[in-house]
């Protein structure tokens, strides 16, 4: 998501900001980057990621190897949960992003990182967007959550409310953890698409791991350029959907816009703490 004022519709993009993915233009080297990252994460994630994510991963195994062709991927996803994947040139305005989600369309970047950026890049590429986000879109409950989020964004209106809503996206869709029957598991796309954060978020003593609390999350600032200092843990996707869909956010926005913000590393007296982080990692930076 990004501030609408700072973005202009790129040449060649449709009025909804989509562009053709142009799958035939990818080079063998670009497909190889996808395959390398895919194999690495597919090997690392069992036992770390939510079972629902692993169940959805097969949706990415298409008829051609390499970067998924969005048309074939969308056909499959459409049959599973009614979602599609559409290509966009990069960041899109908030309203465009919300409208696509509300229509069950996930917007994905089509470019892929260079072979020397396997471990870190700041802007979301096709590996982050597709490997990170699409498997859970094949899960009916998570699929509904993402659509509800888009509709929530359409209703939010105004920068203050959207900033609060963006924190919910950040701490769930991008960096969420879940308490599964087998133990703590990853599900956020920003974690599962990163090898180092897939280890850090689950195993490192540095970050806080705190139970999901909607209002608390909406007040919590986040870091965009390093591992998170706090992860929030949901009980289940049903519970996440239930707590968000059945809460009217309007009074929360009224209460929280202008309220005191919470630092990314803070632990509060009312927090339901699963692990109090040492913050040793962030202090060493
Ligand atoms: N219930 C929220 C509202 O009243 C919408 C929403 C649902 C937001 C699910 C996020 C996730 O605006
Ligand atoms: Co993302």
> In this predicted model, what pLDDT tens digit does every residue of 98-141 receive, in sequence order?
999 999 999 999 999 999 999 888 889 999 999 999 999 999 99
pLDDT band of 273, cuts 50, 70, 90: very high
Q: Where are the domains of the chain?
A: 4-275
> In this predicted model, what pLDDT tens digit does every residue of 130-161 receive, in sequence order?
999 999 999 999 999 999 999 999 999 887 99
Q: Which ligand is nearest to the CA of 106?
A: 2
* 262/93 Cα distance (integer angstroms): 26
pLDDT on residue 74: 98
Helix or strand holding residue 38 (H, E): helix 28-44
* 125/240 Cα distance (integer angstroms): 27
> How far apart are the CA of 92 and the centre of ligand 2, in A?
13
Q: Which ligand is nearest to the CA of 170?
A: 2
- Phi/psi-derived region of residue 88, left when phi > 0, alpha when psi is between -120 and 50, beta in every other case: beta
Q: What is the mean pLDDT of residues 199-226?
A: 97
* 28/67 Cα distance (integer angstroms): 10
Helices (H) and strands (E) in the chain, counts: 14, 7
> In this predicted model, what pLDDT tens digit does every residue of 15-53 receive, in sequence order?
999 999 999 999 999 999 999 999 999 999 999 999 999
Atom in ligand 1 nearest the alpha carbon of residue 247:
1
Mutate to test the pocket of ligand 1, among 102, 142, 152, 158 (most ligand atoms within 8 A of CB): 152
Cβ of 152 closer than 6 Å to ligand 1, yes or no, is: yes
Helix or strand holding residue 281 (H, E): helix 280-283
Cβ of 155 closer than 6 Å to ligand 1, yes or no, is: yes
Helix or strand holding residue 274 (H, E): strand 273-275
Burial class, 153, CB count within 10 angstroms (exposed 0-12 / middle 13-18 / buried 19+): buried
Cβ of 274 closer than 6 Å to ligand 1, yes or no, is: no
pLDDT on residue 285: 87
Choosing among 1.10.800.10, 3.30.70.20, 3.40.50.720, 1.10.40.30, the CATH entry for 4-275 is 1.10.800.10
């Amino acid at each position: 998501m990004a501030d609408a004022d700072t973005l202009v519709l790129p040449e060649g993009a449709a009025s909804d900001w989509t562009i053709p993915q142009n799958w035939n233009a990818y080079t063998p080297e670009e497909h190889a980057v996808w395959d390398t990252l895919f194999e690495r994460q597919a090997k690392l994630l069992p036992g770390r990621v939510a079972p629902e994510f692993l169940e959805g991963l097969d949706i990415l195994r298409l008829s051609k190897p390499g970067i998924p062709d969005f048309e074939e991927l969308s056909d499959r996803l459409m049959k599973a949960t009614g979602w599609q994947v559409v290509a966009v040139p990069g960041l899109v305005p908030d309203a465009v992003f919300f409208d696509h989600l509300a229509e069950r369309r996930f917007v994905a970047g089509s470019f892929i990182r260079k072979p020397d950026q396997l471990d870190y890049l700041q802007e979301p590429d096709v590996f982050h967007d597709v490997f990170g986000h699409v498997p859970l879109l094949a899960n009916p409950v998570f699929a509904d959550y993402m659509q509800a989020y888009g509709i929530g964004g359409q209703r939010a209106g105004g920068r203050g409310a959207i900033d609060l809503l963006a924190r919910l996206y950040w701490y769930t869709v991008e960096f969420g953890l879940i308490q599964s029957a087998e133990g703590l598991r990853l599900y956020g796309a920003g974690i599962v698409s990163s090898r180092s954060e897939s280890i850090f978020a689950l195993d490192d003593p540095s970050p806080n791991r705190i139970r999901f609390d909607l209002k608390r999350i909406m007040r919590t600032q986040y870091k965009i350029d390093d591992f998170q200092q706090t992860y929030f843990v949901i009980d289940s996707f049903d519970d996440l959907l239930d707590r968000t869909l059945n809460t009217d956010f309007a009074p929360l926005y009224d209460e929280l816009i202008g309220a005191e913000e919470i630092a990314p590393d803070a632990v509060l007296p009312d927090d339901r703490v699963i692990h109090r982080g040492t913050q040793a990692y962030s202090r060493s930076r």
